[in-house]
Structure 1
Amino acid sequence: MRIATFNVLHGRSVDDGRVEAGRLSDAVKALDADVLALQEVDRNQPRSHGADLTALAARAMGAVAARFVPALTGTPGGAWTVATGEEHPDSPGYGVALLSRYPVLSWDVVRLSAARAGLPMWLPGTRRPILVRDEPRVAVTAVVDGPSGPFTVCTTHLSFVPGWNRRQLRQVVAGFSGLPEPRVLLGDLNMTARPAARVSGLLPLAAAPTFPVHRPRRQLDHVLAGGGLRATGPVEAPRLPLSDHRALVVPCGPN
Structure 2
Amino acid sequence: MSEVLGWRVATANIASGRDRRTFRPALEHWLADAADLDVDLLALQEVDHLLERSGRVDQTAAIAEAVRGDGPAWDARFAPTVHGTPGRRTTMRPADGTTPHEPGYGIALLSRHPVEDWRELRMAPARLTVPVPDEQRVALAGVVRTPRGPATAVTTHLSFVPTRALAQLRGLVAWAEDLPRPLVLLGDLNLPAPVVNRVTGWQSAVRAATFPAPRPALQLDHVLLDADDTRPDGLSVRAGVAREVGRSDHRALRAELVIDGR
TM-score, length-scaled by structure 2: 0.88
Paired residue secondary structure (1:133): coil
Paired residue secondary structure (1:6): strand
Paired residue secondary structure (1:247): strand
Q: Is the 8 A contact 1:118 1:161 kept in 2?
A: no
CA distance in 2, matches of 1:86, 1:103: 19
The match for 1:254 is 259
Counterpart of 1:81 (choices 85, 93, 97) is: 93
CA distance in 1, matches of 2:106, 2:137: 8
Deviation at 1:47, TM superposition (A): 1.2
Deviation at 1:108, TM superposition (A): 0.3
The match for 2:200 is 200
The match for 1:231 is 237
Question: Which runs of structure 2 are paired with 1:87-166 in the superposition (5 Å)?
Answer: 87=99, 89-119=100-130, 131-166=131-166
Q: Is the 8 A contact 1:107 1:140 kept in 2?
A: yes
Deviation at 1:118, TM superposition (A): 3.0
Deviation at 1:178, TM superposition (A): 1.5
CA distance in 1, matches of 2:193, 2:113: 28
Paired residue secondary structure (1:168): helix
Aligned length: 242
Paired residue secondary structure (1:236): strand
Q: Deviations over 1:25-44 (max 9, x none)?
A: 10210111111000000000
Q: Deviations over 1:134-169 (max 9, x none)?
A: 211111001100121101110000001112111101
Q: Is the 8 A contact 1:37 1:186 kept in 2?
A: yes
CA distance in 1, matches of 2:33, 2:255: 16
Q: Find out whether 1:22 has 2:32 as its counterpart.
A: no
Paired residue secondary structure (1:97): strand
The match for 2:44 is 38
The match for 1:122 is none
Counterpart of 1:245 (choices 221, 228, 250) is: 250
CA distance in 2, matches of 1:243, 1:154: 21
Q: Find out whether 1:49 has 2:61 as its counterpart.
A: no
Q: Is the 8 A contact 2:34 2:245 kept in 1?
A: no
Matched letter for residue 188 of structure 1 = D
Q: Find out whether 1:69 has 2:79 as its counterpart.
A: yes
Paired residue secondary structure (1:96): strand
Q: Is the 8 A contact 1:141 1:155 kept in 2?
A: yes
Structure 1 unaligned residues grouped into runs of 5+: 120-130
Q: CA RMSD in A?
A: 1.4
Q: Is the 8 A contact 1:21 1:56 kept in 2?
A: no
Matched letter for residue 64 of structure 1 = W
Q: Find out whether 1:176 has 2:181 as its counterpart.
A: no
Q: Is the 8 A contact 2:80 2:98 kept in 1?
A: no
Deviation at 1:187, TM superposition (A): 0.1
User: Greater relative contact order: 1 or 2 (C-alpha under 8 angstroms, separation 6 or more)?
Assistant: 2
CA distance in 2, matches of 1:107, 1:203: 24
Moved over 4 A (4+): none
Paired residue secondary structure (2:209): coil
